[in-house]
A and B are shown apart, each in its own frame.
Chain A
Amino acid sequence: MTRNNDIWRHALLILAALFFIGLMLIAVFASFKTSEEMLTPLALPERFYLGNYQQAFVDLWRPLLNSVAITVPALLLSILVGCLAAYPLSQMGAKAGPGGYIFLLLGMFIPFQIIQIPIFIIIRAMGFYDTIYGMWVVHLALGIPFCTFFMRNFFATVPRTMWEAAQIDGCGAVGYFFKILMPASISGIAALAIVQSRGVWNDLLFALTLTRSPDASPVTRELYGMVGAFQIEEGPLMASAIVSTLPMVLVFLVFQKAFTRGLLGGSSK
Chain B
Amino acid sequence: MPFRIAKGHRQRTRWAYAAFLALPVILFTAVYIYPLVYSVTMSLHSWDGMSPQWTWIGFGNYSSLFDDERFWTALGNNFRWLIFELLAPTAFGLALALLLNDKLKGAGIYKTLIFLPFTMTPIAVAAFRRWIYDPSKGVAEDVLGAIGLGALQQNWLGDPDLVTYSIMFSSLWWKTGFSFLLYFAGLRSVPQDYIEAAQIDGAKPWVIFWRITFPMLWPTTIVVLGISGIDAMRVFDLVQGMTQGGPYNSSHVLATLMYDVSFQRFQMGRGAAIAVCLMIVAMVIVLPYIIYMSSRIEDVRE
Contact = CB atoms under 8 A, between A and B. Distances in A.
B38 interface: yes
Interface in B9-50: 9, 12-13, 16-18, 20-21, 23-25, 27-28, 30-32, 34-36, 38-39, 42
A144 B30 CA distance: 12
B241 A227 contact: yes
Interface string A111-155: 111111111011000000000000000101110110010000000
A32 interface: no
Query: How would you classify the secondary structure of chain B's contact residues: helix, strand, loop or mixed?
Result: helix
Interface string A1-39: 000001001101100110111111011001000000010
B263 A264 contact: no
Given A24-B116, A116-B258, A142-B31, A201 B181 contact: no
A242 interface: yes
Contact of A113 (B17, B102, B258, B289): B258
B109 to A, nearest CB: 8
Contacts of B112: 253, 256
Contact of A17 (B114, B244, B275, B286): B114
A205 B123 CA distance: 11
A12 B110 CA distance: 11
Given A16-B96, A227-B126, A268-B219, A115 B104 contact: no
Nearest to B38: A118
Contact of A208 (B114, B126, B259): B259
B291 interface: yes
B298 A85 contact: no
B282 interface: yes
Interface residues of A, number: 101
B124 A223 contact: yes
A13 B111 CA distance: 10
B43 to A, nearest CB: 10
A145 B28 contact: yes
Given A81-B27, A85-B21, A172 B16 contact: yes
A48 interface: no
Contacts of A117: 35, 38-39, 42, 262, 268, 271-272, 275
A265 to B, nearest CB: 7
Given A41-B137, A107-B32, A208-B263, A113 B121 contact: no
Nearest to A12: B99
Interface string A71-98: 0000000000110110110011110001
A264 B185 contact: yes
Contact of A144 (B28, B120, B143): B28
A55 interface: no
A116 B241 contact: no
A193 B3 CA distance: 38
A98 B294 contact: yes
B152 interface: no
Contact of B23 (A84, A87, A109): A84
B272 to A, nearest CB: 6
A239 to B, nearest CB: 11
B271 A241 contact: no
B199 to A, nearest CB: 12
Interface in A238-269: 238, 240-242, 244-245, 248-249, 251-253, 256, 260, 263-265, 267-268
A216 B117 CA distance: 27
15 contacts: A13-B100, A42-B146, A98-B298, A101-B294, A111-B282, A113-B275, A119-B31, A138-B31, A144-B31, A167-B5, A177-B20, A223-B123, A227-B130, A234-B137, A252-B115
Given A102-B291, A208-B263, 5 more contacts: A26-B143, A118-B38, A204-B240, A240-B127, A264-B220
